Amino acid sequence: MSKLFSFSGSDNFFPGGSIYPNPKESSLFFSLGHHVDVYFPHHKRSRFSPPIVFSRERVEKKNPSIEILPDECLFEIFRRLPGGQERSSCACVSKRWLTLLSNIHRDEINDNNKGGVVSKVEDQDVEGDGYLSRVLEGKKATNVRLAAIAVGTASRGGLGKLSIRGSNSTCGVTNVGLRAISRGCPSLRVLSLWDSSSVGDQGLCEIADGCHQLEKLDLCHCPAITDKSLLAVAKGCPNLKDLTIEGCANIGNEGLQALARCCPNLKAISIKDCPLIRDQGIVSMLSSASFTLTKIKLQALNITDVSLAVIGHYGKAVTDLSLISLPNVSEKGFWVMGNGHGLQKLKSFAVTSCRGVTDLGLEAVGKGCPNLKQLCLHKCAFLSDKGLVSFAKTASSLESLQLEECHRITQFGFFVSLLNCGAKLKAFSLVNCYGIKDLNLGLPSVLPCKSLRSLSIRNCPGFGDASLAALGKLCPQLEHVELSGLHGISDAGFLPLLETREADLVKVNLSGCVNLSDKAVCIMADLHGWTLEMLNLEGCKISDASLVAIAKNCQLLSDLDVSKCAITDSGIAALARSNQIKLQILSMSGCSKVSDKSMPSLLKLGQTLLGLNLQQCKAISSSAVDLLVEQLWRCDILF
């Protein structure tokens, strides 16, 4: 070797000139920088020779590294690994290895362990084939995480549900990430993409090509996805059962038509704010899935009466229907839908902000849907008492009726509909209906509505004592009563409701009834305390006397709200002295007269408490709150 390079033991190994006198041998060297050269000696049989590095200080022979192997070689190595656990471990080495592993199709894996014994670690990790669930939100939604999920879940039965919500602003989810999922997770059944602007048709086409078991697809605000994606899904995912599309401006009729042709098991669709979807798409969907489609939700679409007519005729299997903000649908559409006689199985119907809901349209729906059990009407400006009463007379199966912001409904319509709803009505809700006026109607002697169990009247300023007293006679079997934000109600109207009960109250919400006093609460505790489980008295005109009555009579009470009431430490002490009451939720927000003196009582009550609200209790010090937090470690405390 010394002869080759012409140096003796006393000479410098590399004085600074060229280390090879023959320029033709320069091809045997590779420069690594200043004063460093690498020499590759000739070998005839060796396929790989480790380089020899020369420098002024030392001669070093580097060990060969697997990193110099091309991707093709690593790919062959990875796909021959004996199990998923080994592939997961290799994915942790580098991003390059992770990327390679995530691009291996499941059917490309050469499983040498078939028929053998699965490792104990893998066997313990299996949670059920196709039911593993992963959620990526915000900054965590990246291609690298998707690749890791694709590799890591392969040994645990396969990924069944994936939700991507939002995206990392710098390195968010793109088509590359979905490609990794499509190759590593063929068992994927549920995919949700929310606010994924970087995901386009290519990514969803990859999913359709690799995840043939997909049953539920949720696309929300994905502007780069078009009909091309839905065409691929229709072709590759025939088992699709549930489809949700919201705010996708480039999806139109063609995509829905393809799904209607190729997905015979489709059971639920929800479409919102897609300007390109019109009657043609909805008609194709309904006519093709007439005997399978059970749930339909259409919101903020440019559809017309034609779509409603098709729903009324072809919706033979529909049980749940929701129509929201459809400005181009008129009274005619609802009338034709009701008279189509196709909605025989409809059980739940919700309408919001649709001008077509008139007296005539609602009456037709009542006649055409004999099995309707739940009706929710919100912001129906053209619906009056006449239509509500006509509907009540025909809807013999109705169990729940909700009216919200229907300002043409008056006290007359409310009571007459109660009398005509039939023997199955269990719940009635009236919210923000400003047409209600507290009049003494002098209702005739009729049979009471004994089926009604739950009554909710919220923020109806005209509802007062006269209406409440009439309700007491009309609905003697009430168990759940919510009278929220009704300033017109006082003890004079509430006491008749209590005294005419044939059934005992279980849940009572009187929040915002500022004219109810201790008298009403004490009588309620005395008459119904042994069944009362939830009581909300927020903002009522009560004092410690009410808490004393509650502590004495309400043995089953678990949820109590006395926020913004004039209670003091004495009232809290009365609750604590009771050996019968076992509160789990106690809210005293805004009770300015409760101080640190209540700490022993709260500590005793805390033995059963799971939630305690002390917000805006200004007389309670921070040190007292710290003590509660320390002692009541099982309780969620707001302060």
What digits encode the pLDDT tens for the residues 316-366?
999 999 999 999 999 999 999 999 989 999 999 999 999 999 999 999 999
> Of 415, 421, 436, 431, whose CA–CA distance to 377 is shortest?
431
- Per the model's pLDDT, the better-predicted residue between 623 and 55 turns out to be 623
Give the pLDDT confidence score for residue 83 in this predicted structure.
Answer: 59
- Cα three-residue angle 318-226-299, rounded to 5 degrees: 35
- Per DSSP, 63 falls in state P
Give the pLDDT confidence score for residue 2 in this predicted structure.
Answer: 40
Q: Are strands 52-54 and 59-61 parallel, antiparallel or unpaired?
A: antiparallel
Give the pLDDT confidence score for residue 444 in this predicted structure.
Answer: 60
- How many other C-beta atoms are found inside a 10 Å radius of the C-beta of residue 618? 11
Which of 75-89, 372-386, 457-471 shows the lowest mean pLDDT across its residues?
75-89
Give the pLDDT confidence score for residue 402 in this predicted structure.
Answer: 97
- Per the model's pLDDT, the better-predicted residue between 83 and 474 turns out to be 474
Separation of alpha carbons 362 and 331, rounded Å: 9
CB distance 484 to 508 below 8 Å:
no
Structure tokens at 323: 């129509």
> What does the pLDDT average to over 595-624?
94
Going by pLDDT thresholds of 50, 70 and 90, the confidence category of residue 252 is very high
Q: Which CATH class is domain 68-103?
A: mainly alpha
The answer on pLDDT for 11 being more than 70 is no
CB distance 313 to 289 below 8 Å:
no
Give the pLDDT confidence score for residue 290 in this predicted structure.
Answer: 85
> What does the pLDDT average to over 435-463?
84
Going by pLDDT thresholds of 50, 70 and 90, the confidence category of residue 169 is low
The answer on pLDDT for 126 being more than 60 is no
pLDDT tens for each residue of 146-155: 877 777 666 5
For 20, the 3-state DSSP assignment is coil
Separation of alpha carbons 357 and 360, rounded Å: 8
Instruction: Break the chain into its structural domains and give their ranges.
Output: 68-103
The overall average pLDDT reported for the chain is 83
What's the half-sphere exposure (Cβ side, CA atoms, 13 Å) at 389?
Answer: 13
Give the pLDDT confidence score for residue 30 in this predicted structure.
Answer: 43
pLDDT tens for each residue of 392-429: 999 989 999 999 999 999 999 999 898 888 789 999 99
